[in-house]
Amino acid sequence: MRTKIVAGNWKMNNDLKASKSLAKKIVKSIKKTALKNIRVIIAPTFVNLERVAKKTKGTKVEVAAQNMHFEKSGAFTGEVSAEMIKAVGSKIVILGHSERRQYFGETDEILVKKVNAALANKMEVIFCFGEILEDRKENNHFKVVESQLKNGLFHLKAKDFKNIILAYEPVWAIGTGETASPEQAQEMHAFIRKILTDNYDEYTAESISILYGGSVKPANAKEIFSKQDVDGGLIGGAALNKDAFKAIIDAI
Ligand code: PEP
């Protein structure tokens, strides 16, 4: 059975006080919830990672970083390494988010190095990918997704995929209030499993968790999560509100 996951990407939101408070509220809100085969992950900014990791230690909430550099240490001003993330209590990292690709020039080549560094450090990667609106309008979305996966991940061995969580996030649906329809999400997730089967094997394709991301809200979560190949969500805006986030967890 595949693991279901609800992951909240806080992006550049919440100062220390707000981060600790939201983490505490999320921990409390799911304390009595039976989370059978469901993981809950939150990703605060780097500066708040350690405090949030401390607040959530020993609870049902796991903590992820939103980015990472591929080098161990050195003259990389403003960057943070896998070792540093692990040292403050997180073993999960979001890589390849469309905002990183779009605003910070993150290429497939850079992502390969980041993925490799994360796995070498025994971290889990939430690997994001997805087409822009133009790709979808021109019916290129399958090709684009296939190439992002091939270029960013398919150098890995099948066994490495146990530490990869995929997050399909059509860029046109991120923070726009526009969601892919449950059918569009299912169609893409099934396609992703097919290319994993073709390039690896059925076991790899069937055991990996594939999250959908893009304006998931309490009102649409249940329908999206009901689709056979959707194993949960990567949540942006709605993850900043404990009631909305809890309602999304409940929808899985
Ligand atoms: C995201 O940034 O990963 C995301 C899905 O954002 P939102 O839910 O706000 O669209």
Q: Tell me, what's the pLDDT at 35?
A: 85
- Ligand 1 atom having least distance to the Cα of 215: 10
CB distance 232 to ligand 1 below 6 Å:
no
User: Would you say the C-alpha torsion 102, 103, 109, 112 has a positive or negative sign?
Assistant: negative
141 is catalytic: no
Taking the C-alpha atoms of residue 239 and residue 157, their distance in angstroms, rounded to an integer, is 33
Atom in ligand 1 nearest the alpha carbon of residue 173: 10
When pLDDT is averaged across residues 1-13 and rounded to a whole number, the result is: 96
Tell me if 214 CB under 6 Å of ligand 1. Answer: yes
94, 66 contact by CB (below 8 A): yes
The pLDDT tens digits for 38-95 are 999 999 999 999 999 999 999 999 999 999 999 999 999 999 999 999 999 999 999 9
What is the band of 182 on the pLDDT scale with cuts at 50, 70, 90?
A: very high
Phi then psi for residue 57, to 5 deg, are -55, 130
Closest residue by CA, ligand 1 atom 3: 236
Q: What's at 45, amino acid-wise?
A: T
Residue 97: active-site member = yes
- pLDDT 10s digits, 188-245: 999 999 999 999 999 999 999 999 999 999 999 999 999 999 999 999 999 999 999 9
Annotate 82-98 with b (16+ C-beta within 10 A) or e (fewer): bebbbebbbbbbbbbbb
User: Cα separations (Å) of 29 from 49, 179, 249, 250?
Assistant: 20, 26, 10, 11
How far is residue 102's CA from residue 122's CA, in Å, rounded to a whole number? Answer: 27
Instruction: Give the per-residue pLDDT at 175.
Output: 79
Distance from residue 235's CA to the centre of ligand 1 (Å): 5
pLDDT per residue as tens digits for the range 158-180: 999 999 999 999 999 887 878 88
pLDDT of res. 97: 98
Q: What is the pLDDT of residue 36?
A: 85
Q: For residue 234, which of 167, 158, 183 has the smallest C-alpha distance? A: 167
The verdict on the CB of residue 216 being under 6 Å from ligand 1 is yes
Alpha-carbon span 237 to 214, nearest angstrom: 9
Calculate the average pLDDT of the chain: 96
Give the model confidence (pLDDT) of 101-143 as tens digits.
999 999 999 999 999 999 999 999 999 999 999 999 999 999 9
